[in-house]
Amino acid sequence: MPYEVLAVRYATRQARASEVYANHAAYGEPDHPIRMDYFFWLLRRAGRTIVVDTGFTPEVGQARGRTTLCAPPDALARLGVGPDDVDTVVITHAHYDHTGHVALFPRADIVISARELAFWTGTYAGRAQFAHSAEAADLDTLRRLDAAGRVTRVGGRCEIAPGLELVDVGGHTPGQLVALADGEGGPVVLASDAVHYYDELDLDRPFGVYADLAGMYRGFDTVRELAAESGGAVVAGHDPAVLTRFTPWDAADPGFAVRAG
């Protein structure tokens, strides 16, 4: 039975190409403004409610100059989902804009890449260029949930629920995950931050934050392969175009959420 797959926009900010793309000057193009939107994803069907990533809190967003449009707990409530309803939370990677509400779901199994969790609880997570992209309090929460037996580690390519596969592609972070879901409207590749913007895939341009640049290119290849293999649509992690490529969940408020599958 396929999932209703929603991409939910909870925040936004104005950025520039030079902050978004790695070494943008190499392309010989003028700098220009680019909007960055922030999403999480909801997959549900009879008997299953799966949240993929948890956004940031409005406080963390404000401290980082991001505008929260609808905090993830409120967005979930609007979609008819309470914290107790969620059985699985996938953390695609441990950056601050994906981990802010990981403790919200009292009965959820938390799924993360083994190498992602090992990295963010390991030697190099505290170094400035890595630490900047994570919230220490969220990493502590992940550690605490892990100690309580609430965390499931995955790696490679695995099916964590019927019709939902995760692929550990790395690149952007050491264990960045991509999800391949059986959606009601067809297969869906939730790229999360393996692909922030469609231009990354279309122009083969890595994002500016990465743990492994070659790994990020390899992640592009993997996302392309998953899309070709499944015939599915790719949902980029931060691209405002997600809102126009897919059908609004609420036609009266097309900026809130879209049906990606």
**Which of residues 97 and 109 has its CB atom nearest to Zn ion in the complex?**
97
Segment contacting Zn ion by CB under 5 A, of 114-122, 123-131, 134-142, 189-197 = 189-197
Residue 13 pairs with which residues in a beta bridge? 36
Q: Which positions from 141 to 180 touch Zn ion by CB under 5 A, shown as an x/- string?
A: ----------------------------------------
**Which of residues 191 and 226 has its CB atom nearest to Zn ion in the complex?**
191
Segment contacting Zn ion by CB under 5 A, of 2-10, 75-83, 185-193, 210-218 = 185-193
Does the protein bind Zn ion through residue 193 (CB under 5 A)? yes
Give dist(CA 183, CA 2) in Å, integer. Answer: 5
131 token code pair: 């630490």
194 token code pair: 């393996």
Give dist(CA 172, CA 194) in Å, integer. Answer: 6
**Which of residues 123 and 129 has its CB atom nearest to Zn ion in the complex?**
129
**Which of residues 193 and 199 has its CB atom nearest to Zn ion in the complex?**
193
Does the protein bind Zn ion through residue 138 (CB under 5 A)? no
Does the protein bind Zn ion through residue 239 (CB under 5 A)? no
State which H helix or E strand residue 18 sits in. helix 17-20
| C-alpha 173, offset from chain centre | 12
Does the protein bind Zn ion through residue 97 (CB under 5 A)? yes
Instruction: Write down the least CB distance from residue 53 to Zn ion, Å.
Output: 8
Q: What is the 3-state secondary structure (H, E, C) of 52-119?
A: ECCCCCHHHHHHCCCEECCCHHHHHHHCCCCHHHCCEEECCCCCHHHHCCHHHCCCCEEEEEHHHHHH
Instruction: Write down the least CB distance from residue 256 to Zn ion, Å.
Output: 18
Does the protein bind Zn ion through residue 37 (CB under 5 A)? no
Which parts of 85-203 are beta strand (E)?
Answer: 88-90, 109-113, 151-154, 157-161, 164-168, 177-183, 186-192
Contact 43, 181 (CB under 8 A): yes
Q: Binders of Zn ion: how many residues, by CB under 5 A?
A: 2
Instruction: Write down the least CB distance from residue 39 to Zn ion, Å.
Output: 8
Instruction: Write down the least CB distance from residue 229 to Zn ion, Å.
Output: 25
**Which of residues 39 and 45 has its CB atom nearest to Zn ion in the complex?**
39
**Which of residues 8 and 45 has its CB atom nearest to Zn ion in the complex?**
8
Give dist(CA 162, CA 167) in Å, integer. Answer: 15
Q: Give residues in contact with Zn ion (CB under 5 A).
A: 97, 193
